[in-house]
């Protein structure tokens, strides 16, 4: 970008909200995946109007813009593939309206997810989607990735809570989509198309979200298993028995030991796998459900069903799960974390398949994740400097995605496609599916300037 273009950015955002120093560009060159490309400038939006002016400027000057929340994405979504401008949304972080009577909250897109709960709790409400990154990801990033989390099994994912949004379209127009009513079918479900759009179709600046009453009671337990298979089968059986826990998280032996080495959370180092299970609702219902869970896990040779007796005990168990990724990251220099997902009934096959793949390609793997959703995070623990191991890992990742597809599952349950899974999307949705995505992208962004090269290539890029 030239000097006059930078000056124009400063005129829109103010001197201190435009960065161009090399050190700053390095800081905005990556997310939590492995991609790394430096932008030419970073700007911090504080108003929707600034975002609109930026996109008008970008369209006039044909400069690419990559929206960014907190850069915690695991698929490379906020990495500026074509350089240009990174638009950081994290300074748009105000709560605009809290409406407990209608169980709604309207926030700016850069607000950290967990901060929504800090407001909601005042009226005994909560925001159910609960990604492991809840303490640092932004709600805009969650909407753009349709983030899931630890409560997805019972409460669903981000898309189930988005009611309304303000969006800046690629050419700078500002639109308000959706409605605060419980029901709204006037026109296409346009807010829906932005959920999971990975910053390719527009920039969310405000979002209205539904909230729920905090459940009266919770029952939490750790089910300890001596085989991987029995833990996976227990998940399928619990669902088949008609129980819907709010949380059912899986951790295998490698993950358990990584966590214990990282932080003592009281997990059994000798277990093949554990399930962290929580039921909630009114006290009788939560207790009745955890009792049914206990019956199902015991049918599957659960060695021990340890109920949390205090909220401190429960918090320790959940803390273990929340540090799983950081703990695995400390085992080897690098990791590749995936989020292939299958129907719950196919979870035992998926777990077996993942271990077979790791054995075949001789790669260390830790498996954890939202088992109740069929959404596992097989995490390959590797050293990227080791060329031979990297080559084997690439084959293992491809085999993993193929396994998910063969089991009628999906290559991504919650982290999105971005750069990391782009080569595999066609296998999942077919050539016609890719063509439809390209047409939609072209309609919103005819010059392909907003986060180009993510999820799929546009035909011109393929030719290049």
Ligand X SMILES: Cc1cc2nc3c(=O)[nH]c(=O)nc-3n(C[C@H](O)[C@H](O)[C@H](O)COP(=O)(O)OP(=O)(O)OC[C@H]3O[C@@H](n4cnc5c(N)ncnc54)[C@H](O)[C@@H]3O)c2cc1C
* # chain residues binding ligand X, by CB under 6 A: 36
Nearer to ligand X, 160 or 294 (CB): 160
Name the residue among 32, 33, 57 with its Cα closest to residue 43: 57
| Residue 255 interacting with ligand X (CB under 6 A) | no
Nearer to ligand X, 66 or 233 (CB): 66
- What separation in angstroms does the CA of 379 have from each of 27, 52, 288, 307, 458? 25, 39, 34, 28, 30
Shortest Å distance, C-beta 376 to ligand X: 12
Nearer to ligand X, 91 or 298 (CB): 91
Alpha carbons 290 and 281: distance in angstroms, whole number: 11
Q: Which stretch binds ligand X (CB under 6 A): 144-152, 182-190, 264-272, 427-435?
A: 144-152
| Torsion (CA) 318, 321, 322, 327 in degrees, nearest 10 | 140
Among 8, 13, 19, 31, binds ligand X (CB under 6 A): 31
Among 52, 106, 138, 255, binds ligand X (CB under 6 A): 138
Sign of CA dihedral 293, 298, 304, 309: positive
Q: Which stretch binds ligand X (CB under 6 A): 18-26, 133-141, 239-247, 401-409?
A: 133-141
| Residue 141 interacting with ligand X (CB under 6 A) | yes
Specify the pairing of strand 104-108 against strand 162-168.
unpaired
| Residue 191 interacting with ligand X (CB under 6 A) | no
Nearer to ligand X, 324 or 363 (CB): 324
Shortest Å distance, C-beta 288 to ligand X: 28
Nearer to ligand X, 75 or 393 (CB): 75
| Residue 452 interacting with ligand X (CB under 6 A) | no
Alpha carbons 376 and 110: distance in angstroms, whole number: 28
Among 8, 198, 338, 373, binds ligand X (CB under 6 A): 198
Shortest Å distance, C-beta 449 to ligand X: 13
Among 39, 80, 84, 140, binds ligand X (CB under 6 A): 140
Shortest Å distance, C-beta 419 to ligand X: 10
Nearer to ligand X, 55 or 109 (CB): 109
Among 80, 84, 131, 453, binds ligand X (CB under 6 A): 131
Specify the pairing of strand 85-88 against strand 364-370.
unpaired
Contacts to ligand X from residues 50-89, by CB under 6 A = 66-74, 77-78, 89
Among 104, 203, 223, 365, binds ligand X (CB under 6 A): 203
Q: What angle do CA 364, 298, 242 make, to 5 degrees?
A: 95
Q: Which stretch binds ligand X (CB under 6 A): 125-133, 209-217, 243-251, 302-310?
A: 125-133
Shortest Å distance, C-beta 23 to ligand X: 19
Among 249, 414, 420, 445, binds ligand X (CB under 6 A): 414
Contacts to ligand X from residues 310-329, by CB under 6 A = 325
| Torsion (CA) 335, 349, 286, 297 in degrees, nearest 10 | -110
| Residue 107 interacting with ligand X (CB under 6 A) | no
Nearer to ligand X, 289 or 339 (CB): 339
Sign of CA dihedral 380, 384, 385, 391: positive
| Residue 32 interacting with ligand X (CB under 6 A) | yes
Nearer to ligand X, 302 or 450 (CB): 450
Nearer to ligand X, 69 or 372 (CB): 69
Shortest Å distance, C-beta 242 to ligand X: 26
Q: Which stretch binds ligand X (CB under 6 A): 13-21, 140-148, 240-248, 398-406?
A: 140-148
Per-residue interface string for the shown chain with ligand X, residues 145-164, x marking contact by CB under 6 A: x-xxx---------------
| Residue 39 interacting with ligand X (CB under 6 A) | no
Which residues make up the interface to ligand X (CB under 6 A)?
31-32, 66-74, 77-78, 89, 109, 131-133, 137-138, 140-142, 144-145, 147-149, 198-199, 203-204, 325, 414-415, 451
């Amino acid at each position: 970008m030239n000097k006059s273009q930078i000056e124009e950015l400063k005129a829109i955002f103010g001197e201190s909200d435009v960065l161009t120093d090399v050190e700053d560009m390095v800081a905005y060159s990556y997310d939590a995946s492995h991609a790394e490309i430096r932008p030419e400038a970073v700007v911090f939006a504080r108003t929707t109007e600034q975002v609109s002016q930026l996109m008008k400027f970008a369209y006039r000057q044909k400069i690419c813009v990559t929206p960014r929340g907190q850069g915690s994405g695991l698929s490379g979504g906020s990495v500026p593939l074509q350089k240009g401008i990174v638009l950081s949304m994290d300074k748009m972080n105000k709560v605009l309206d809290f409406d407990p009577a209608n169980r709604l909250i309207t926030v700016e897109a850069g607000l950290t997810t967990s901060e929504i709960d800090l407001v909601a709790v005042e009226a005994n409400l909560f925001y159910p989607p609960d990604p492991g990154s809840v303490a640092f990801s932004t709600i805009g990033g969650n909407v753009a990735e349709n983030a899931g989390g630890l409560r997805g099994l019972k409460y669903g994912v981000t898309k189930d809570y988005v009611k309304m949004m303000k969006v800046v379209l690629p050419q700078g127009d500002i639109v308000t989509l959706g409605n605060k009513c419980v029901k709204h079918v006037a026109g296409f479900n346009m807010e829906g198309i932005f959920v999971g759009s990975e910053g390719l179709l527009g920039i969310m600046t405000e979002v209205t979200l539904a909230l729920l009453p905090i459940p009266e009671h919770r029952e939490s337990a750790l089910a300890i298993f001596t085989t991987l298979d029995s833990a996976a089968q227990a998940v399928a059986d619990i669902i088949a028995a008609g129980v819907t826990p709010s949380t059912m998280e899986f951790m295998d032996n490698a993950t358990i030991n990584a966590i214990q080495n990282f932080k003592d959370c009281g997990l059994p180092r000798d277990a093949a796998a554990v399930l962290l299970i929580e039921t909630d609702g009114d006290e009788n219902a939560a207790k009745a459900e955890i009792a049914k869970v206990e019956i199902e896990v015991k049918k599957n040779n659960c060695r021990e069903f340890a109920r949390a007796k205090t909220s401190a005990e429960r918090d320790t168990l959940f803390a273990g799960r929340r540090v799983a990724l950081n703990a695995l990251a400390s085992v080897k220099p690098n990791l590749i974390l995936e989020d292939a997902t299958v129907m719950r009934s196919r979870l035992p096959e998926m777990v077996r398949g993942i271990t077979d793949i790791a054995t075949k390609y001789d790669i260390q793997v830790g498996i954890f994740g939202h088992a109740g959703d069929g959404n596992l995070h097989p995490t390959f623990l590797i050293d990227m400097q080791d060329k031979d191991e990297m080559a084997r890992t690439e084959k293992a990742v491809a085999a993993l995605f193929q396994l998910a597809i063969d089991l009628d599952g999906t290559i991504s349950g919650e982290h999105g496609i971005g750069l990391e899974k782009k080569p595999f999307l066609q296998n999942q949705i077919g050539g016609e599916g890719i063509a439809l995505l390209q047409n939609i992208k072209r309609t919103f962004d005819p010059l392909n300037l907003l986060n180009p090269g993510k999820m799929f290539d546009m035909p011109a890029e393929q030719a290049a």
